[in-house]
A = this chain, B = another copy of it.
Amino acid sequence: MAKRIRLERKVLSENDRIAARLAQRFAEARLLVLNLLSSPGAGKTSLLEQTARRLGGDLRLAAVEGDLATDRDARRLRAAGLPTRQINTGRGCHLSARQVREALQHFDGDGRPLDLHSLDILFIENVGNLVCPSQFHLGERRRVVVASTPEGDDKPLKYPVAFEPADCVVLNKMDLVEAAGFSAEAFRRYVRGLAPRAVLLELSCRTGEGLDAWLDWLRAEREVVRRA
């Protein structure tokens, strides 16, 4: 057991070292970088599609997309106008800072690096998993947890490792809130208990309801980074 813990520490500290360097590069480029975490199918990709369609005219955006298999999500994002690099992790349950560094170094189809100074916001869409990704920093400035109403209102209590470090909690699929028997009031209370300083945004990527507040939050965070 002790051996396992020591190795976990070693792997985490190697990741932290690379993540710290990434964070420094992102800060130098005055780039807002977001790490998006959620269960499978909560709507991270849908949120980025909607974001690209609504914000792509004003701000320069790019994405790194983590999945075990397929490039389906990267294709969806590119179709929405978002330059995206797909990472396939195979059996890997989270993105690592090393994988993100590699993806930025060989970003486009010709293997050229992403010019961080040419961008306003970089989205990192993590592997769909509420447990493991929360333990691996990727150099991001803000961590966004996307939850969805059909998952049930008790998910913050059951996955505190994901919700506690969240800077922003997006509750998606508000159009299904009644059909799912979801208590938004209970969910808010649980999030406030675990992450009292997190911004909580309720929206539906399907109907567009609530998306403006998300875009406003992105613009404000972007402005803070730009002026830093």
Contact = CB atoms under 8 A, between A and B. Distances in A.
**How many copies of this chain does one complex carry?**
2
Interface string A145-173: 00010111011011111000000000001
A173 B176 CA distance: 12
Interface string A121-155: 00000011111100100000000000010111011
6 contacts: A4-B7, A39-B151, A68-B159, A128-B130, A150-B173, A175-B179
B93 A159 contact: no
A40 B67 CA distance: 17
A148 B176 CA distance: 14
A33 to B, nearest CB: 24
Interface of A: 3-4, 7, 11, 39-41, 67-70, 72-73, 91-93, 127-132, 135, 148, 150-152, 154-155, 157-161, 173, 175-176, 179-181, 206
A213 B11 CA distance: 46
Nearest to A206: B181
B154 A176 contact: no
